[in-house]
Chain A
Amino acid sequence: MDPAGNSDEILTEAILGLGEPLVSGNLSPDAYSVSRQDLKIVRRGLVTQPWLLTRNGNRSGSREILIPKSRQNMQKLSDKQAIALAEMGLRLENHYGRPQDVEWAFVGDRLNILQSRPITTTQAPDASPNEGLETLNALVSGASASPGIGPEQFG
């Protein structure tokens, strides 16, 4: 499911290379939303990726390498891969009995599951009252990653 949005959709985020920069937030990922009902892609959010993390040759550890300009804007997952991941997400959810946060890696066409754990926050908050805010001009814009629980927490 999408932990920050529509629970009828399965969210997959993807980057090229090793996954650590996605988890840390050092790279912003592509986001693919797939409908739970018919497993069709409802949305693709494509993000420019300037570099990737890869194995450090024969030595231990990893290193960052630049991605050629011509490939920085490519779609990270094929539609087929995004749908295969959504299907796998549903299988894991059925197996464990609740929505899962899954780490995975494609090596070529082979899908590897690295980790699956329950999504820790599945309850959508009550719609927070934003009266008056629509008349203000936003200073910056961006994607919402967490809906919060409303203004009363610090009220």
Chain B
Amino acid sequence: MLKGDILVTEITTPDFVPAMKRAAAIVTDQGGRTCHAAIVSREMGLP
């Protein structure tokens, strides 16, 4: 994962956070607006 890459994954877990910090955007297969990936993305300002 390089800074500015787009992270594409089924879901995210707390172990993903270092990679999420480098991502420019995050795409998941599953999950609603209150799942881990969504909450952390909003906190990081990532679409």
Contacts and interface: CB of A to CB of B under 8 A. Distances in A.
Interface of A: 2-5, 11, 13, 22-29, 31, 101, 120-121, 125, 128, 140, 142-149, 153-154
A146 B32 contact: no
B34 A101 contact: yes
A120 B27 CA distance: 21
Contacts of B30: 25-28
A29 B30 CA distance: 9
Interface of B is mostly: loop
Interface residues of B, number: 27
Contacts of B35: 22-25, 145
Contacts of B41: 145-146, 148
A28 B33 CA distance: 9
Contacts, number: 91
Interface of B: 3-4, 10-13, 24-28, 30-39, 41-43, 45-47
A29 B32 contact: yes
22 contacts: A4-B38, A22-B34, A24-B35, A25-B11, A25-B28, A25-B36, A26-B11, A29-B32, A31-B32, A101-B39, A120-B39, A121-B42, A121-B43, A143-B32, A143-B33, A145-B31, A145-B41, A146-B41, A146-B42, A146-B47, A148-B25, A148-B41
